[in-house]
Amino acid sequence: MKKKAIDSASVCRSIHAVGLMKKIQLTGRWNVDRFCRFVLAVLVCWIVMLTAAYADTAQNGMPAPQILKLGILPDSSPEIIKQRFSPLMRYLERKADIRIELLIPSDYRELVRQFTTKKIDMAFFGGYTFVMTQRETKAVPLIMRDIDLHFSTVFLTHPNNTKQKLEDFRGGRFSFGDALSTSGHVMPRYFLHERNIRPEKYFSEVRYSGGHDTTAFWVRDNQVDLGAANSDIIKNLIQDGLLNKNDVRILWETPVYTNYVFAIQPDYDKELRDRLLDSFLALTPRVQAHQEILTALGTSGFLPANNEDFEILRKAVKIMVPQ
């Protein structure tokens, strides 16, 4: 958003008038009273002009920032996150004509805190962290990948483990991801609940790994017998060579649900918000330059996000995480 230009002619006239005042003399002495009144009038005019210059920014929310601070849900290591999101950031900077600063919080709760306190302008949330944050901030869902409407959780075990059903793991060691993770905690807990499995009573140990990649590594290294992780992230770990497909075995995959979303501050500049939305929607696998961006994010395109997309998740949260 462009600031209203200050009338340079008015400023020049004011400066010229101040110069003329130097010539005003009364019986060989400055007329101090008149001079002070004049200076005060000039200052008032300046204040009025400066106020007008910024008035239009208040009508459309926050002033357009020079840097968009983008927070990313830390569901994997910082190195993996940077690798996945760097192509998108470079594209958005060119297409939307704005600088982007990538911020990776230490954990899920810190992402919520930074958005709530407006330390970041836009965030890539998991479904649960978005629902939590929206309660406090009225965060606006902006855009989501086409795959985000059809997410699932996989329950992983070691290939040498011969058990075939979740119910066979009674008394075993179990791991969720982060406590605030949609696909690593809330939804797998919900689906376990549907099968009358209460983790803290059913398993001998319940741990929280803090990330989907760590959960997979714990299963691989026999630190736990069973782990719940985001199916897409497990697929990417194998695709990127960070996990061998023979390191873990998928015991069961849940039904699909809505998960990730890019959300933005409710009072963020509307013009910039529209530019960002249009830039996301312009990405297509038919353009060769876009393929690297989409492949890194595991998607073939983006869709506008709506609050209605998260209704099923909100119901699950009410059941599993009562307020």
Q: What is d(CA 147, CA 234) in angstroms, rounded to the nearest whole number?
A: 15
The tokens describing 23, both together, are 């010539």
pTM of the predicted model as reported, rounded to 2 decimal places: 0.69
Q: What are phi and psi of 267, to 5 degrees?
A: -105, 20
**Beta pairing partners, 125:** 261
pLDDT of residue 21: 47
Locate tokens 């594209």: which residue? 91
Query: Model confidence over 179-234: pLDDT tens digits?
Result: 999 999 999 999 999 999 999 999 999 999 999 999 999 999 999 999 999 999 99
Predicted pLDDT of residue 241: 93
| Closest to 247 measured CA to CA, from 215, 223, 219 | 219
Would you state the structure tokens that stand for residue 268, as one six-digit string? Answer: 């963020």
DSSP β-bridge partners for residue 153: 230
Q: Which residue type, as a one-letter code, is found at position 308?
A: E
Q: Compute the Cα dihedral for 181, 208, 136, 103 and give only its sign.
A: negative
pLDDT in tens, the chain (323 residues): 444 444 444 444 444 444 544 444 444 444 556 655 655 665 655 665 555 444 444 445 555 557 899 999 998 899 999 999 999 999 999 999 999 999 999 999 999 999 999 999 999 999 999 999 999 999 999 999 999 999 999 999 999 999 999 999 999 999 999 999 999 999 999 999 999 999 999 999 999 999 999 999 999 999 999 999 999 999 999 998 999 999 999 999 999 999 999 999 999 999 999 999 999 999 999 999 999 999 999 999 999 999 999 988 988 888 776 55
Bridge partners, residue 207, by sequence: 175
What pLDDT was estimated at residue 45?
Answer: 57
Phi-psi region of 71 (alpha: psi -120 to 50; beta: other; left: phi over 0): beta
Look up residue 31 and give its amino acid: N
R_g (Cα) of the chain, nearest Å: 28
Rounded to 10 degrees, the C-alpha dihedral 68/69/70/71 comes to -170
